């Protein structure tokens, strides 16, 4: 063995990996953090820079995103180098089954550099969804098991929000909520009064009170370009920084994990083989346990690439389930735009810009309520009342200047986020032909939304219309997008699912492989179903819970 020896090797420095490293290293455990991205630093943050500073003014996407046609949608001209080069790191799909694998981040902190920060708890309606409606499998854990970890994560991360007392969306340890706009208040009140449904403040991982030296948000707006005051949660300047500060966590950047190294005699993982992204040289790093946190699709790709004589179909895949049940939220599949001329608003340039927006929690198929013709449900995310100057107004000179800043009706666009059912036929495998620029076999992704997801899309438009009517919108434009490509939800989960039965699942409730006891997958790959809430708060809470279990196993000498 030639590489350095640690206690635990963690792959991935994003939402899950950051927490695993923090928890382990603060408990005195020596950790190697292998991450494909380069180092993140405050000097890369550009949230206060105007677009005119950039060569293409952040406008000529077709020119500056030539190497990143898939990733382009999730980044700004200034953050292009934060995401993978799609030409160097391709993946393939079936003809007629497009999948947009967006958000392949290649910088410390992973997707938490770019995320929208909506942070919602799951409830037992989600963890025990199969018991409610008979479809799929229950998770091998319940809300009570995760609740203390939600508390712990929220208090450190800093999540602002309002307590609403809804069983389907448990309240958390919130910082004071941001304020609603006028149109949001109108819709919140109208909906509650006429329909009984709730519109609440988006529960965002954006600080409204200082935490651990991080300042409250000052509402400059473009969080996905970084934040010099560290006011939103990005694992690069929170969990990973804490872990590295212990002196026991070594961050190995620009390191593309290829496979888990196995000792087949003892059926134990020994470490990880990675390729240096700059030199393309292979390196090995060793530990008593390996924890994959590379984002679901990447982690499962590593497991497939770790196939050996004992596990010819992929490491930890004696069940044959690895790679199956891929899920991604039906993102903006349907909804409605409402206009409220009774609330005229003036556009503002460089005014305060509240990040995030509002949330309408699921109100369909609740226990004891009416049953819909579809299973599960959806929520809405959006914001209301932030009119843009009318740059395309007609005219010249003074008249034009006045016109672009004219008052406009307040608007609200409700955008549905729907649960995706786990289906065997939505799966990933290695492409037998393709390799990336590092020589690592790439994924072939097979996924399309089924009947239930399409029924949700129609229901999103119908119910959003009802909400706008209840709120008194004067113009209502419902919409549906039935050809929305999976992947755009950027919430891919489920391909190494947790369960109690090793024949039907890959991981146990602590995200530990049933087959190889010192291999864990602590990102979203273990999700048994996807709920309709954004996944990252749950990813983080589960990662902390599973890390505590791993430390117990190490103490007992079982790992
Ligand atoms: C634009 C955008 C908006 C989003 N909005 C929300 C939201 O509002 N709410 C929400 O809950 N979620 C949101 N998400 C999703 C959220 O960011 C992810 O769910 C979360 O970050 C996943 O955590 P993770 O630890 O699994 O992976 P990531 O945070 O992506 O971290 C994975 C890390 O692994 C590294 N890596 C990948 N492959 C390898 C490899 N082979 N070897 C070594 N390292 C590797 C990457 O460099 C990265 O640092 C959003 C994502 C994006 C991109
Ligand atoms: S809006 Fe707030 S969280 Fe976002 S970049 Fe500005 S200060 Fe940071």
**Distance (Å) from CA 263 to ligand 1 centroid:** 30
pLDDT band at 323 (very low <50, low <70, confident <90, very high): very high
Residue pair 263/270 in contact by the 8 Å Cβ criterion: yes
- The model's pLDDT over 70-84, given as tens digits with 9 standing for 90+, comes to 998 888 889 999 999
**Distance (Å) from CA 220 to ligand 2 centroid:** 5
Which atom number of ligand 1 is nearest to the Cα of residue 257? 42
**In the predicted model, is pLDDT for residue 351 greater than 80?**
no
**Distance (Å) from CA 105 to ligand 1 centroid:** 7
200-201 β-sheet, strand order: 200-201, 358-360, 378-382, 408-418, 330-345, 475-480
Which atom number of ligand 2 is nearest to the Cα of residue 206? 3
Residue pair 16/243 in contact by the 8 Å Cβ criterion: no
Ligand at shortest distance from the CA of 9: 1
Q: Which CA distances in Å does 30 have to 172, 289, 321? A: 32, 11, 32
**Distance (Å) from CA 304 to ligand 1 centroid:** 20
**pTM for the structure as a whole:** 0.97
Helical spans, DSSP H, in 82-140 = 124-127, 129-133
SS3 269: strand
Ligand at shortest distance from the CA of 42: 2
**Which tokens go with 455?**
């029924």
Q: Quick one: average pLDDT of 389-414? A: 88
Ligand at shortest distance from the CA of 236: 1
E-assigned strand segments in 253-383 = 255-263, 268-276, 282-286, 289-292, 330-345, 358-360, 378-382
Q: Given this model, what pLDDT does residue 207 score?
A: 98
Least confident of 39-53, 317-331, 540-554: 39-53
Which atom number of ligand 1 is nearest to the Cα of residue 255? 43
Q: Given this model, what pLDDT does residue 386 score?
A: 67
CATH T-level fold of 4-556: FAD/NAD(P)-binding domain (3.50.50)
- The model's pLDDT over 124-136, given as tens digits with 9 standing for 90+, comes to 999 999 999 999 9
Q: Which helix (H) or strand (E) holds 521?
A: strand 519-521
**Distance (Å) from CA 222 to ligand 2 centroid:** 7
Q: Which CA distances in Å does 228 have to 41, 49, 241, 354? A: 9, 12, 14, 17
Which atom number of ligand 1 is nearest to the Cα of residue 13? 49
Q: Quick one: average pLDDT of 318-347? A: 94
Residue nearest to ligand 2 atom 2, measured at CA: 217
**Distance (Å) from CA 213 to ligand 2 centroid:** 15
Four-point Cα dihedral 14, 15, 19, 20, nearest 10: -60
Which atom number of ligand 1 is nearest to the Cα of residue 224? 1
pLDDT band at 394 (very low <50, low <70, confident <90, very high): confident
pLDDT band at 553 (very low <50, low <70, confident <90, very high): very high
**Distance (Å) from CA 231 to ligand 2 centroid:** 6
Please choose from 44, 47, 178, 225 the residue to mutate so as to test ligand 2's pocket, defined by most ligand atoms within 8 A of CB.
Answer: 47
**In the predicted model, is pLDDT for residue 195 greater than 70?**
yes
Q: Phi/psi at 16 (nearest 5 deg)?
A: -80, -50
- The model's pLDDT over 434-462, given as tens digits with 9 standing for 90+, comes to 999 999 999 999 999 999 999 999 999 99
Distance in angstroms (rounded) separating the CA atoms of residues 175 and 204: 10
Q: Given this model, what pLDDT does residue 2 score?
A: 64
pLDDT band at 88 (very low <50, low <70, confident <90, very high): very high
Ligand at shortest distance from the CA of 233: 2
pLDDT band at 392 (very low <50, low <70, confident <90, very high): confident
Q: Phi/psi at 427 (nearest 5 deg)?
A: -150, 165
Please choose from 44, 117, 229, 234 the residue to mutate so as to test ligand 2's pocket, defined by most ligand atoms within 8 A of CB.
Answer: 229
pLDDT band at 516 (very low <50, low <70, confident <90, very high): very high
**In the predicted model, is pLDDT for residue 1 greater than 60?**
no
**Distance (Å) from CA 156 to ligand 2 centroid:** 17
Which atom number of ligand 2 is nearest to the Cα of residue 215? 7
Which atom number of ligand 2 is nearest to the Cα of residue 231? 3
- Burial string for 283-314 (b: 16+ CB within 10 Å, else e) reads bebbbbbbbbbbbbbbbbbbbbbbbeeebeeb
pLDDT higher at 499 or 390: 499
* Pocket residues: Cβ below 6 A from ligand 1: 11-17, 34-37, 74, 103, 105-106, 110-112, 114-118, 255-257, 293-295, 298, 302, 490-491, 523-524, 534-536, 539
For a pLDDT cut of 90, what percent of the chain falls above it? Answer: 86
Residue among 71, 61, 360, 68 nearest 224 (CA) = 71
**Which tokens go with 149?**
């970890």
């Amino acid at each position: 063995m030639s590489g350095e020896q640690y206690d635990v090797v963690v792959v991935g420095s994003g939402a899950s990996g950051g927490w695993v490293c923090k928890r382990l290293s603060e408990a005195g455990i020596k950790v190697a953090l292998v991450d494909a991205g380069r180092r993140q630093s405050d000097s890369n943050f550009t949230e206060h820079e105007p677009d005119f500073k950039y060569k293409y003014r952040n406008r000529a996407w077709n020119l500056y995103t030539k190497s990143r046609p898939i990733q382009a949608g999730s980044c700004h001209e200034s953050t292009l180098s934060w995401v993978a080069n799609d030409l160097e790191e391709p993946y393939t799909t079936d003809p007629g089954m497009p999948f947009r694998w967006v958000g392949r981040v290649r910088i410390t902190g992973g997707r938490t550099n770019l995320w929208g920060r909506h942070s919602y708890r799951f409830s037992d309606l989600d963890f025990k969804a199969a018991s409610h409606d008979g479809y799929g499998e229950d998770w091998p854990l319940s809300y009570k098991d995760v609740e203390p970890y939600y508390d712990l994560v929220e208090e450190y991360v800093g999540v602002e929000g309002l307590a609403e007392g809804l069983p389907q969306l448990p309240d958390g340890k919130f910082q004071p909520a941001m304020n609603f706009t006028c149109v949001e208040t109108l819709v919140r009140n109208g909906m509650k009064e006429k329909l009984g449904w709730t519109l609440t403040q988006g529960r965002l991982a954006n600080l409204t009170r200082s935490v651990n030296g991080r300042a409250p948000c000052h509402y400059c707006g473009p969080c996905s370009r970084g934040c010099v005051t560290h006011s939103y949660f990005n694992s690069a300047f929170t969990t990973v920084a804490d872990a590295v500060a212990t002196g026991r966590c070594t961050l190995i950047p620009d390191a593309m994990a290829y496979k888990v190294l196995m000792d087949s005699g003892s059926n134990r993982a020994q470490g990880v083989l990675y390729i240096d992204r700059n030199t393309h040289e292979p390196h090995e790093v060793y530990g008593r346990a390996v924890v994959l946190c590379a984002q679901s699709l990447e982690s499962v790709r590593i497991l497939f690439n770790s196939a050996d004589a004992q596990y010819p179909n992929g490491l930890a895949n004696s069940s044959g389930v690895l790679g199956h049940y891929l899920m991604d939220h039906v993102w903006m599949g349907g909804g409605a735009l409402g206009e409220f001329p009774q609330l005229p608003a003036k556009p503002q340039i460089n005014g305060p810009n509240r990040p995030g927006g509002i949330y309408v929690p699921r109100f369909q198929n609740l226990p004891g309520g009416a049953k819909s013709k579809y299973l599960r449900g959806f929520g809405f995310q959006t914001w209301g009342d932030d009119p843009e100057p009318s740059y395309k107004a007609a005219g010249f000179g003074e008249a034009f200047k006045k016109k672009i800043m004219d008052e406009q009706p307040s608007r609200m666009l409700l955008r549905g986020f729907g649960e995706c059912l786990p289906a065997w036929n939505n799966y990933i495998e290695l492409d037998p032909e393709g390799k990336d620029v590092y020589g690592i076999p790439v994924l072939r992704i097979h996924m399309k939304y089924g009947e239930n997801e399409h029924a949700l899309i129609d229901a999103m438009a119908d119910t959003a219309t009802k909400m706008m009517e209840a709120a008194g919108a004067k113009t209502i434009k419902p919409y549906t997008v039935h050809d929305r490509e999976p992947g755009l939800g950027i919430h891919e989960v489920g391909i190494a699912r947790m369960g109690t039965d090793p024949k039907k699942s890959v991981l146990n409730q602590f995200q530990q492989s049933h087959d190889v006891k010192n291999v864990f997958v602590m990102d979203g790959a273990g999700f048994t179903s996807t709920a309709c809430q954004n996944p990252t708060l749950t990813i983080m809470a589960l990662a902390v819970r599973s890390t505590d279990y791993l430390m117990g196993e190490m103490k007992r000498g079982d790992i």
